[in-house]
Amino acid sequence: MAVSYVAVVAVAVSLLLLLLVSWKRWRQGRAKWHVIIVVLGDVGRSPRMQYHALSFLKSGFSVTLLGFCNSRPYDELLQNNRIQIVSLTELQKLPVGPYIFQYGVKVVFQSVHLLWKLICREPAAYIFLQNPPGLPAIAVCWFVGCLCGSKLVIDWHNYGYSIMGLVHGPSHGLVVLAKWYEKLCGRLSHLNLCVTNSMREDLAENWGIKAVTVYDKPASFFKETPLDLQHQLFMKLGCTYSAFKARSEPVDPATERSAFTERDAQSGLVTHLRGRPALLVSSTSWTEDEDFSILLAALEKFEQLILDGESLPSLVCVITGKGPLKEYYSGLISQKCFQHIQVCTPWLEAEDYPLLLGSADLGVCLHKSSSGLDLPMKVVDMFGCCLPVCAVSFRCLHELVKHEENGLVFKDSEELAAQLQMLFSKFPDPAGKLSQFRKNLRESEQLRWDESWKQTVLPLVMET
């Protein structure tokens, strides 16, 4: 009797082990070509992680993308049936309690919520995490990876603690805690990517983390915009923003005219207007690491030069983006009494942003890295559109902007105003500095994101 009982138990245990092994192999087979990408932020405003998702899809993977869905992602993602976009709930600011209490509640909520969302997903070979923000996402993703057999990959865009330090100061208790957490948990990852060689060196020397540099590269849709598409964009934006509307009516009422272009009623030919304003573009997330008072002061100096009789064009300055300081700077802009400069701050549809960059005459970047180790993706996109850039100087900017080659680097509003004067003198001048920078960008044959990703990220994923 006892022998038969033992035999039954042995058979049951063997069957159970066989089922577990089969289940594990089934999960591993399903997971091998599945990747989970986590963005503890707005997916629509996280282009690099969207690019990762698209590249995985093109390489045969299925993708689950988790993040806040406040802005519309790229249509190419929305139209692909091998990606699932999972919306995370963003906890709004609590109306009561001190800041530390509110932050603690937010971290606990995000930890539980993210853990639940990840556990409910299909098994994945990799969990790709954008950092920052990494608190509490790094620890949660690592824990889920341990449970489900997924490997954690951290894509270091910057240091989260350094961004917190802009608001609270570097010695604030929360900032010190965030740095300790980021340094400790960052070592738990299986693979690390970063955006600059300077960051790669800093991670190795000061954090003990080995990372691979994957530079931001423009997607294929960032390119120079044909003149007829420029005209369509200007006419569309002119319906909402007066800066794009024609300054005068055409002789022929059937002729379409914007502030920059006009379409002949008979031939349909689009041409630039004579004496048109120059189009200056900047994009921003309106955060503490971008000081737009520098640009506003430079524009005031530029305006004064025009009033003093300098041969300079009027300007339309378009500043795109969303963020916490937009209302503050919009108030400053509304106080300016420009006569030859118009400033507008639209939020553009995803498909219109590349068209605008490809239509502009000059880009301006006010991004100052909180860590000094990341590069502004907006400049990458501008270069993809062969748009010359004036960028404020910081530690590793030289890895992207080559002074006097593809743009100019400035330190303050005085230098920026002088650069605007030099670049727009005799505008539009085909032999001028602005045209030379654009020519250099055209001839540089920049590597695009897809090609770069296949050369750097895909081999790392397939090897491990």
Distance of alpha carbon 277 from alpha carbon 73, whole angstroms: 32
| Same domain, yes or no: 186 and 329 | no
Residues 257 and 131 in one domain: no
Contacts of 286 (CB under 8 A, 6+ apart): 321, 322, 323, 324, 325, 326, 329
Helices 99-119 and 137-148 cross at an angle (nearest 10°) of: 20
Per-residue pLDDT at 444: 85
- Residue numbers of the domain that contains 401: 227-446
Query: Both 260 and 210 in a single domain?
Result: no
DSSP conformation letters of 384-450: HTT--EEEE--TTGGGT--BTTTEEEESSHHHHHHHHHHHHTTSS-TTSHHHHHHHHHHHT-PPPHH
From residue 8, give the alpha-carbon distance in Å to each of 11, 16, 22, 261, 348: 5, 12, 21, 85, 68
Does residue 361 belong to any structural domain of this protein?
A: yes
In the predicted structure, residue 446 carries a pLDDT above the cut 70: yes
Enumerate residues 6+ apart whose C-beta is below 8 A from 42: 67, 68, 69, 70, 71
Task: Note the pLDDT tens digit of each residue in 378-396.
Answer: 999 999 999 999 999 998 9
161 pLDDT higher than 50: yes
**Secondary structure class of 301 (helix, strand, coil):** helix
Residue 108: which residues within 8 A CB-CB, separation 6 or more? none
Identify whether residues 162 and 240 lie together within a single domain.
Answer: no
Q: Are residues 180 and 321 in the same domain?
A: no
Residues 199 and 263 placed together within one structural domain of the fold: no
Question: Residue 182's pLDDT band (boundaries 50, 70, 90)?
Answer: very high
CA geometry: angle at 379 spanning 374 and 382, to 5°? 160
CA distance 257 to 277: 14
Coil/strand/helix, residue 238: helix
Reported as a single tens digit per residue, the pLDDT across 292-318 is: 999 999 999 999 999 999 999 999 999
Render pLDDT for 192-217 as a digit per residue (tens, 0 to 9): 999 999 999 999 999 999 999 999 99
CATH of the domain at 135: 3.40.50.2000
SS3 call for 142: helix
Whether the bond between 428 and the residue before it is cis, its omega within 30 degrees of 0, is yes
* 389: in domain: yes
Say how many domains are in the chain: 2
Apex CA 275: angle with CA 270 and CA 279, to 5°?
75
The secondary structure element, H or E, covering residue 4 is helix 2-31
302/427 same-domain check: yes
What distance in Å separates the CA atoms of residue 225 and residue 211, rounded to the nearest whole number?
Answer: 36
Neighbours of 423 (CB within 10 A): 23
Please tell me the predicted confidence (pLDDT) of residue 27: 53
Is pLDDT of 102 > 70?
yes
Give tens-digit pLDDT for 343-388: 999 988 888 999 999 999 999 999 988 888 999 999 999 999 999 9
* Residue spans of beta strands (DSSP E) within 11-159: 34-42, 62-68, 83-87, 126-131, 151-156
pLDDT at 2: 53
What mean pLDDT do residues 168-186 have?
Answer: 91
| Whether 141 and 262 share a structural domain | no
pLDDT tens column, 81-91: 999 999 999 88
Compute the distance between CA of residue 327 and CA of residue 318 in angstroms, rounded to an integer.
15
Half-sphere exposure at residue 153, Cβ-oriented, CA atoms within 13 angstroms: 20
Indicate whether 66 belongs to any domain.
Answer: yes
Pair 207, 275 in one domain: no
Distance of CA 219 to the CA centre of its chain: 12
pLDDT band at 4 (very low <50, low <70, confident <90, very high): low
Consecutive H or E run containing 317: strand 315-320
Could you tell me if residue 96 is inside a domain?
no
Query: Residue 320: inside a domain, yes or no?
Result: yes
Q: Measure the CA–CA gap between 309 and 107, rounded to whole angstroms.
A: 57
Q: Is the pLDDT of residue 398 over 60?
A: yes
pLDDT exceeds cutoff 90 at 166: no
pLDDT band at 168 (very low <50, low <70, confident <90, very high): confident
427 with 321, same domain: the answer is yes
Question: Given a cut of 70, is residue 287 above it in pLDDT?
Answer: yes
Domain-located, residue 43: no
Q: Residue 158 pLDDT > 60, yes or no?
A: yes
Q: How confident is the model at residue 17 (pLDDT cuts 50, 70, 90)?
A: very low
Contact indicator for 188, 136 with CB cutoff of 8 Å: no
Provide the pLDDT confidence category of residue 1 given band limits of 50, 70 and 90. low
